[in-house]
Amino acid sequence: MRTIPDLKEGTHRAVTTGSLPNGKPVVVNADGTVSVVTATSASLGSAAVFETEEVSFNTAVFDSSNNKVVVVYRTYNGGGGNELMEYVVGTVSGSSISFSSPATAYNGDPHHIDSVFDSANNRIVISFRNDSDSGKGYAIVGSLSGTTVTWGTATKFEDGTATFGKICFDTTANKVVIAYRDQTNSQYGTAVVGTISGTSISFGSPVVFESASTSYYGIAYDSNANKTVISYKDAGNSNYGTAIVGTISGTGISFGSAVVFEAAQTNFSDAVFDPNSNKIVIAYQDAGDGDAGKAIIGTVSGTSISFGNPVEFSANTRDYSTVFDSSSNKVIIAYKNLGNSNYGTVISGLVSGTSIAFDSEVVFEAATTNYIGSVAYDSTANKSVMVYTDAGNGGDGTAITFASSSTNLTSENYIGISTGGTYADGSSATVDIIGTVNGQQSGLTAAQSYYVQTDGTLSETADDPEVFAGTAISATSLVVKT
């Protein structure tokens, strides 16, 4: 810890990280250094085309062992049974992303493509419906080197027609779970466990988790509870939004009881785990409320899940893809905004307890945007990568990076206000800590309470997170408190 002995009671001396202006709210960092409170705005990179022909069923995954984004998609390749599963490899630099040339991942007609990264084996796993084999469920495993993926042999996991497939990775069992609708078995909700070895995958027996027609799945692995959560539309119960918790054992999976999270017809759900709050976040279309885009927070306990109240983030939306941004501790939701000319839109939200607070919507494509595939989060570049079909540009496969707004202020790390001048990066700074009077202010109103804002200013109105700075005793002085 890089601290310096305090000069006197009521002050603290510490080394700065970054420059520290005079009279500004200060936070302590994990290494004991101090910094001024700062905030950054949400930002987009430039759109990059990865495929110059019409694409569909786009999906993206971040390979953390190679720091690359792998995009897999269906290309029409002239149509007439010539459809292919192709891929490109993307490299994020700053706010830009560049791609390798397209290459074939599977010579067949794939639909409902989804992807996940197996961090135990450093493999990319793709699930899909194989219309070259009567719509049966298949998966394929890839190993990335440079900008080339070596793909293994596609392996069947479902003899019937498998639609709406979604895949996640269980980091405890080191297995993948695929949730899908078994068209051949009365459209029942079904799941199967896959084990990776090299570039091969083997499967246990499929397990029905909902004995009714189901669709529009989301799937996420809760690494705190060591459970897999599946969200879906339950046609056997008035099309209500429903979730269920699964537990892997060997090559099988068992489920708890289904829980309704929205007592109305829901469509287009997606799910993500937030490790900052240890909550599951489900984004979905509430067809019972004008197709509003909503999110709801779930808490897993044992083999059950309970929910807070839904929060609307946009009035008329569909096609959700979610990811967790570990740099801002926010959930990212990309979607098609039906209420704004079908534009591609993204929003970030911070979970608190059993609710979520959203930032402003950001349009990432001002044209009709289709097949907004799974969002990949590049944890090295601290960027989310959204892949989509740009109908305003002939259906080209396109990607763009997004950085959510962020702040270094939390509900716990505020320690006081800087005093004694402006400090350069790495220098020894003095901070007036709790219980002292800081006289470096201006424009305050005596006897009023002030709160630290996420951009480092003071206001009489609390921000989120709510951090009490102190009480003004004059226009220039503040009693520092918590």
| Arithmetic mean of pLDDT, 82-111 | 95
* Residue 3 pLDDT exceeds 60: no
Backbone angles phi, psi at 391, to 5 degrees: -70, -20
Residues 6+ apart with CB under 8 A from 30: none
pLDDT tens digits, 45-68: 999 999 999 999 999 999 999 999
Residues 120 and 196 in one domain: yes
| Arithmetic mean of pLDDT, 398-413 | 94
SS3 (DSSP) at 105: strand
Instruction: Give the separation between CA 124 and CA 115, rounded to whole angstroms.
Output: 7
Residues 141 and 249 in one domain: yes
Instruction: Give the separation between CA 469 and CA 467, rounded to whole angstroms.
Output: 6
Domain boundary among 353, 384, 406: 406
Q: Strand 11-15: give its sheet, edge to edge.
A: 3-4, 11-15, 428-433, 414-419, 25-28, 34-36
> Are the C-beta atoms of 335 and 321 separated by less than 8 Å?
yes
Instruction: Give the separation between CA 309 and CA 314, rounded to whole angstroms.
Output: 16
Cis bond upstream, residue 465 (ω within 30): yes
> Are the C-beta atoms of 405 and 442 separated by less than 8 Å?
no
Residues 207 and 106 in one domain: yes
The distance in angstroms from the start CA to the end CA of the chain is 23
* pTM (two decimals): 0.92
Residues 295 and 157 in one domain: yes
* Residue 79 pLDDT exceeds 80: no
Q: What is the pLDDT of residue 6?
A: 44
* Residue 8 pLDDT exceeds 80: no
> In angstroms, how far is CA 288 from the centroid of its own chain?
25
Mean pLDDT of the chain: 95
The domain that holds 99 is classified in CATH as 2.120.10.10
Q: What is the pLDDT of residue 351?
A: 96
| Arithmetic mean of pLDDT, 271-277 | 97
Residues 247 and 318 in one domain: yes
Q: What is the pLDDT of residue 162?
A: 98
Give CA separation, 89 vs 15, 81, 265, 281, 400, in Å. Answer: 41, 25, 37, 28, 14
Domain residues for 132?
43-406
Q: What is the pLDDT of residue 9?
A: 63
Q: What is the pLDDT of residue 256?
A: 98
Q: What is the pLDDT of residue 415?
A: 93
Q: What is the pLDDT of residue 411?
A: 85
For residue 422, the one-letter residue type is T
Q: What is the pLDDT of residue 132?
A: 93
> Are the C-beta atoms of 342 and 369 separated by less than 8 Å?
yes
> Are the C-beta atoms of 86 and 128 separated by less than 8 Å?
no
Domain boundary among 377, 406, 435: 406
> Are the C-beta atoms of 258 and 243 separated by less than 8 Å?
yes
Residues 130 and 140 in one domain: yes
How many domains are contained in the chain? 2
Residues 367 and 412 in one domain: no
Tokens 């692995």 correspond to 221
Instruction: Give the separation between CA 349 and CA 346, rounded to whole angstroms.
Output: 10
Domain boundary among 352, 373, 406: 406
Residues 364 and 442 in one domain: no
Q: What is the pLDDT of residue 78?
A: 59
pLDDT tens digits, 151-165: 999 999 999 999 999
pLDDT tens digits, 313-351: 999 999 999 999 999 999 999 999 999 999 999 999 999
> In angstroms, how far is CA 217 from the centroid of its own chain?
16
Residues 421 and 309 in one domain: no
Instruction: Give the separation between CA 436 and CA 417, rounded to whole angstroms.
Output: 10
Residues 93 and 215 in one domain: yes
* Residue 101 pLDDT exceeds 50: yes
> In angstroms, how far is CA 388 from the centroid of its own chain?
16
Residues 15 and 79 in one domain: no
Instruction: Give the separation between CA 333 and CA 165, rounded to whole angstroms.
Output: 19
Residues 326 and 455 in one domain: no
| Arithmetic mean of pLDDT, 275-295 | 97
Backbone angles phi, psi at 289, to 5 degrees: -135, 50
Closest CA to 115 of 144, 76, 93: 144
> In this structure, how many other beta carbons lie within 10 angstroms of the beta carbon of residue 242?
24
Closest CA to 229 of 293, 302, 318, 329: 302
* Residue 235 pLDDT exceeds 80: yes
* Residue 195 pLDDT exceeds 90: yes
**341, 42, 44, 91 alpha-carbon torsion, rounded to 10°:** -130
